[in-house]
Amino acid sequence: MPDFKPNKILYTPDALNPNGLRIADQYPDAGRTPIKQHNRLPEVDLPHYKAKSDLLVLGRLKSKEIKYSGRSSDFIAPSLANGCFGGCAYCYVDRHKKLNPITVFTNTDEIMAAVDKHVMALPWPRTPNQTDPIYYTYDIGCNSDIAVDYAISPGIHDVFQFYKDHERAKATFATKFINSEMLEFDPARKIRIRFSLMPAEISRLVDVRTDSIEKRLQAINDFYAAGYEVHVNFSPVIVYDRVRGIERDWEEDYRELFQQLNAAVSPEVKKQMQCEVIFLTHNEWQHVANLQINPKAEELLWLPAIQETKRSSYGGINIRYQHQLKAQMINTFINLLTEEIPWCGIRYIF
């Protein structure tokens, strides 16, 4: 885990409940500055990546909306946090903010109450689907990395306990970090952790300040042994070839990654593992920003010759692989996976 030691805490007064105070007290050397809104920060003279390590924002989540998903989970739970220590070159959360430090919401009790009210109003027993055969699943980490949040907020442990004990609900989240503290909690298979994987050489270039692919692979069996349900998340799949300065092409690298996964995972874990696959969607604003801080990554991410543009729901210009080419890429990926790790079912791929 990264050694997160912020030197300044920005907080809304209503965030300093007992959970918020416990969080703030973990960083006694950090200055504290009150703010009016957690999503409208004052001007801070810090580069984007420094804000992620030097600032911590404590807020109270007011809008506890629960959205339908149908992919990784049945529903997307209200955010427990926003932002991440990592600085991944393709991160969709960073696209919408000039400055995006870690923001932790301290009213986890209210968030859990909203989930409880939501799930208890749903038909039971539920109809099994691809997300889970028994429980309604809630993604608790769409806007942050829960493994990082767990190290910061005691409230995340309470959230884990909530889902472990709930008769109808189950939690899931994706992560690029290995938090060994989480191994001390036994979720009784009621929490699904999805380790994000991509070829290691590419990850070192675009997964900025996250744990290595090697560490993620090594952690899979440990987390299953601790009581987690463990799946993997191939996201984003980035297409490249030798002419871009990479020794091998994406097909060769994914074949090797599948072989590494096959060697790392125990037979017991293989029986329960599934994966999710998402091909890269990039963003014009991110592209411009990355040219200043991570230009080598853009040689892989911004390839207009094989990509097409689409205006996002937020009004920005996104770029993704051309429709017909992407269909071929998806078929290639499925064939590679079927050849190397046929035991790993694909929950969805797009």
Lowest mean pLDDT among 38-42, 76-80, 187-191: 38-42
Q: Crossing angle, helix 154-165 and helix 108-120, to 10 degrees?
A: 20
Q: State yes or no: pLDDT of 46 exceeds 80.
A: no
- Pick from 245, 237, 244: nearest CA to 330: 237
How high is the pLDDT of residue 316?
A: 75
In a domain, 1, yes or no: no
How high is the pLDDT of residue 117?
A: 98
What band does 50 get if pLDDT is binned at 50, 70 and 90? confident
Q: State yes or no: pLDDT of 211 exceeds 60.
A: yes
- Pick from 31, 32, 17, 9: nearest CA to 154: 17
In a domain, 144, yes or no: yes
In a domain, 76, yes or no: yes
How high is the pLDDT of residue 243?
A: 52
Q: State yes or no: pLDDT of 20 exceeds 80.
A: yes
pLDDT digits (tens, 9 = 90+) for 254-264: 999 999 999 99
> 173 is in which domain, residue-wise?
8-349
Which DSSP string do the residues of 199-228 spell out, in sequence order?
Answer: -HHHHHHHSTTS--HHHHHHHHHHHHHHT-
In a domain, 3, yes or no: no
What band does 157 get if pLDDT is binned at 50, 70 and 90? very high
How high is the pLDDT of residue 345?
A: 97
C-beta separation of 350 from 276 below 8 A: no
In a domain, 268, yes or no: yes
Give the CATH number, domain containing residue 57. Answer: 3.80.30.30
* pTM (2 d.p.): 0.95
pLDDT digits (tens, 9 = 90+) for 272-323: 999 999 999 999 888 988 898 899 999 999 999 999 998 776 667 899 999 9
Rg of the chain over Cα atoms, rounded to whole angstroms, equals: 20
pLDDT digits (tens, 9 = 90+) for 124-152: 999 999 999 999 999 999 999 999 999 99
The pair phi, psi for residue 349, each rounded to 5°, is: -150, 130
How many CB atoms within 10 Å of residue 122?
12
Number of domains in the chain: 1
Q: What is the mean pLDDT of the chain?
A: 94
Contacts 24+ apart (CB under 8 A), 298-304: 298/89, 299/244, 299/245, 300/202, 300/205, 300/206, 300/238, 300/240, 300/244, 300/246, 301/89, 301/90, 301/206, 301/238, 303/239
How high is the pLDDT of residue 241?
A: 86
